[in-house]
């Protein structure tokens, strides 16, 4: 059973890491192509909201790419300096792209329900990350880990959003309706899943290496 949990945990971690890095790299397609061609539905932001647009689409994929490495135990134990520097990059990228994401949420063309979902996500994303940082500074590493797991689950919303959108489109769902629902569904279940993990599985996972703790 212990071995089974460890294999599941490792598989889940590797899948999460690969998806995060792939979505991050794909998100930078605006660099060679330009926003208008790469993400046409975002182009309205170029008129008067370009700073927030570039701050978000430049910074958020960086946080997504860095995130899995922060939960890789080998790296953290063997190269603590790298963990600290990547941590600074992660937090800075979230502060910049989170504030920008909040600004974009006010300007989304997807309606107020989607805008509220994204806006609240931005606030909770910044708050969990800031709390994780504060506990690191106080050297309370148990709480630092728990809050950074909460932050990571929200960062991973970038992946779940695109997965759910892909599934919705495959089932020919109405785009507007699907997008509005997914603005919430991309992060609320992630946040709840981490709470369940922290409440019920962390003790076992921490000892046996199950779940994300495999990388701790
Ligand atoms: C977790 C907090 C996040 C919030 C609150 C947020 C918010 C937003 C908002 C409001 C938009 C505009 C949507 C619209 O107007 O329809 C947007 C677009 C975008 N976001 Fe985020 N975002 C977050 C995380 C991320 C992450 C981690 C990435 C990393 C890949 C990312 C990459 C992008 C990209 C590339 C776009 C342009 C849309 C597209 O992909 O075609 N965001 N985001």
Residues 70-79: tens digit of each pLDDT? 999 999 999 9
At 208, the pLDDT band (50, 70, 90 cuts) reads: very low
Centre of ligand 1 to C-alpha 155, Å, is 10
How many A from CA of 211 to the centre of ligand 1? 26
Domain boundaries, the chain: 2-215
Closest protein CA for atom 15 of ligand 1: 108
- Please indicate whether residue 214 or residue 96 has the higher confidence score (pLDDT): 96
Tell me, using a 6 A CB cutoff, whether residue 62 lines ligand 1: no
Q: Give distance in angstroms: CA of 53 to centre of ligand 1.
A: 9
Cα-to-centroid distance, 197 and ligand 1 (Å) = 26
CA-to-CA distance for 36 and 29, rounded, in angstroms?
11
The predicted structure's pLDDT at residue 203: 62
CA 17 to chain centre: 11
Is the four-CA dihedral 124, 164, 62, 149 of positive or negative sign? positive
Instruction: Lowest mean pLDDT of 142-146, 172-176, 190-194, 201-205, name the range.
Output: 201-205
- Write the secondary structure of 73-98 as one string of H (helix), E (strand) and C (coil): HHHHHHCHHHHHHHHHHHHHHHHHHH
Q: Which pLDDT score is estimated for 215?
A: 47
20 Cβ closer than 6 Å to some ligand 1 atom: no
158 C-beta closer than 6 A to ligand 1 = yes
Model confidence at 204, in pLDDT bands (50, 70, 90)?
low
212 lines ligand 1 (CB under 6 A): no
Q: Whose CA is nearest to atom 5 of ligand 1?
A: 122
The set of residues, in sequence order, having a beta carbon less than 8 Å from that of 61 and lying 6+ positions away, is 23, 24, 25, 27, 28, 158
pLDDT(207) > 70? no
Whether 121 lines ligand 1, by a CB cut-off of 6 Å, is yes
> Measuring from atom 7 of ligand 1, which residue has the nearest CA?
101
Query: How does pLDDT run across 86-131, given as a tens digit for each residue?
Result: 999 999 999 999 999 999 999 999 999 999 999 999 999 999 999 9
Ligand 1 centroid – CA 30 distance (Å)? 13
- pLDDT over 60 (residue 205): no
The pLDDT assigned to 175 comes to 96
Q: Which atom of ligand 1 is nearest to the CA of 119?
A: 5
């Amino acid at each position: 059973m212990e071995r089974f949990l460890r294999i599941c945990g490792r598989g889940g971690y590797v899948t999460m890491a690969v998806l995060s890095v792939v979505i991050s790299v794909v998100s930078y397609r605006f660099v060679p192509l330009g926003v208008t061609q790469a993400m046409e539905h975002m182009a309205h932001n170029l008129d008067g909201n370009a700073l927030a647009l570039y701050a978000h689409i430049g910074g958020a994929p960086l946080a997504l790419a860095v995130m899995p490495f922060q939960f890789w135990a080998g790296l953290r134990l063997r190269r603590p300096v790298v963990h600290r520097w990547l941590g600074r990059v992660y937090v800075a990228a979230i502060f910049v792209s989170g504030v920008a994401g909040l600004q974009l949420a006010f300007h989304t063309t997807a309606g107020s329900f989607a805008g509220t979902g994204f806006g609240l996500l931005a606030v909770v994303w910044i708050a969990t990350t800031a709390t994780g940082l504060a506990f690191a500074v106080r050297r309370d590493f148990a709480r630092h880990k728990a809050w950074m797991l909460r932050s990571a689950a929200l960062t991973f919303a970038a992946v779940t959003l695109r997965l759910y959108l892909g599934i919705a489109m495959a089932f020919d769902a109405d785009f507007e309706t699907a997008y509005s629902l997914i603005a919430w569904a991309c992060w609320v279940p992630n946040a709840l899943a981490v709470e369940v993990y922290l409440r019920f599985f962390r003790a076992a996972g921490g000892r046996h290496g199950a779940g994300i703790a495999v990388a701790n």
